[in-house]
Structure 1
């Protein structure tokens, strides 16, 4: 499978080079990279050579699609560009793995737009997935802390590099994906947002088929790596630890320390396997649509104190 990587540079949060590495390990061929400028595209392509990847650099999506004719696109560019690239990829019948948030800012009639995009994908038998990584290691959390049974409380600590209201679309998709994967589809109520621009607390109720879970998400701006991360249900919390020298990831909780697989690699592997096997990815249509609309709800109620437009 030929893959073009959009947003291949390594900035503060850039995952492009790591995604390319894992694509190659999964058997895909990263044949093209796209960034906003010719110089950065060449630098990104050069950087991928460290992983044995020879990719052509582009700074124009039309030229890339015409010259390279990829079978899949990975969209790892800033979120404001996602919608245009999603439309271009689907229009060319190309499979897509898109970084979270899937689309942001949320446009008018967001639900209608999402339905339209996925309807096109289904008619063309295309895989569309979102790179929201943490559901892929939920089983490791369950191994340490047990599987939640109608939990009353969910807590999460995230450390975005941005500050202010930009923290919400940057970080909340992680929390919403974990909630969706653990508890099933939900509805958001009783949203509150408090704190300073560099340290905010987002609280909301997640109503699901089994009951209501009160969620408290702490967002603390952090620039230094590795950035603190942890989550859990009903006080049974795990914290992520990273052995940078050996690039090993661990969960520490319940008095134990457990080695876990890199969730980014698992997300990329799932996308490649979904395209190969023509199956729904773990983070597929229903997951993406539901969590995207919940993100819109939290943002509108927390930041602007209003509901989103009625869903169609």
Structure 2
């Protein structure tokens, strides 16, 4: 069993297991939790997902097409939300009402038909609901977990003056620049907030270029009077090679990966002829969330408060009305 395991097995349910959810399920199993169920859209999709999960890690749980039925029958400790963005708020609300801890894919909430104010209101309601229920609410913007590995490779810098990131991904159907930002924007923002937890966005400095399948933005964040200039590009490409790179004060690293000796994926950071291998950031995030639920860690890597802060910055940068 890999590192970052939990002491006792948590009962985990995945909502949306046909895409990224199958990878989440595998990591929950890897850290010692038991995936007891997942929720899919149709019986046919559930059958396909169950076959994949069984082959991947020996899934022996139940498949449901009804969230409410799953919550009532399985009573999971943790609900991991990997369904489409516009479903996040409703699913999280119902899971928290069922006394579950919730881990949600980024962004925490999103609905293009709502104003920025309404979107933030939804996020803040979830944060308040989790706090009142004494449940943990975390978000999967896992690159935040790379900061210690980055510092180990290039050396720590508490007050950098600049940040840059280029994150490319492949997609079966290339998305609009705005949709790419919705999906990928939380990742670089999570790195910024990991370095500057109390950062405020200076809206007067925002520039944006949303064209084709690429979002290119620049902006400043301010923490206790210190200013950091940020430059971010996120884009969809039809296929590899892909660039995934970030850094502070020009000390940039490339993000790569490779199988570890234990069979689990490892994260490799490379820069200036140096290399550092560490735990996959999603593995880190899911493992820490599980240990937080069990009282072995104080907080998730990305807390509800940080998720709301991330969302506020994401909306401000892209100019969502």
Regarding TM over 0.5, the answer is yes
CA contact (8 A) 2:158 2:195 kept: no
For 2:111, the equivalent position in structure 1 comes to 105
For 1:17 and 1:181, the matched residues in 2 are separated by 27
CA positional deviation for 1:215: 0.8
How many pairs align? 298
CA pair 117-150 structure 1, distance change in 2 beyond 3 A: same
What is the aligned counterpart of 2:250 among 229, 235, 254?
235
For 2:165, the equivalent position in structure 1 comes to 156
For 1:45, the equivalent position in structure 2 comes to 50
CA positional deviation for 1:212: 1.1
For 2:269, the equivalent position in structure 1 comes to 251
CA contact (8 A) 1:186 1:206 kept: yes
Q: Does 1:212 align with 2:227?
A: yes
Q: Does 1:138 align with 2:151?
A: no
For 1:33, the equivalent position in structure 2 comes to 38
SS of equivalent to 1:277: coil
CA positional deviation for 1:116: 2.4
CA contact (8 A) 2:89 2:123 kept: no
For 1:185, the equivalent position in structure 2 comes to 198
CA contact (8 A) 1:129 1:284 kept: yes
For 2:238 and 2:83, the matched residues in 1 are separated by 19
Query: How do residues 158-173 of structure 1 correspond to structure 2 at under 5 angstroms?
Result: 158-160=167-169, 161=171, 162-173=175-186
For 1:201 and 1:112, the matched residues in 2 are separated by 27
CA positional deviation for 1:124: 1.5
For 1:23 and 1:149, the matched residues in 2 are separated by 32
CA positional deviation for 1:251: 0.7
CA pair 118-223 structure 1, distance change in 2 beyond 3 A: same
TM-score w.r.t. length of structure 2: 0.87
CA positional deviation for 1:8: 0.5
CA contact (8 A) 1:144 1:254 kept: no
CA contact (8 A) 2:11 2:78 kept: yes
User: CA RMSD for the aligned pairs?
Assistant: 2.0
Q: Does 1:89 align with 2:107?
A: no
Q: Does 1:6 align with 2:6?
A: no
For 1:222, the equivalent position in structure 2 comes to 237
Q: Give a deviation string over 1:247-271, Cα, whole Å, max 9, x none.
A: 4431111321111210011111011
> Which ranges in structure 1 are unaligned for 5 or more consecutive residues?
none
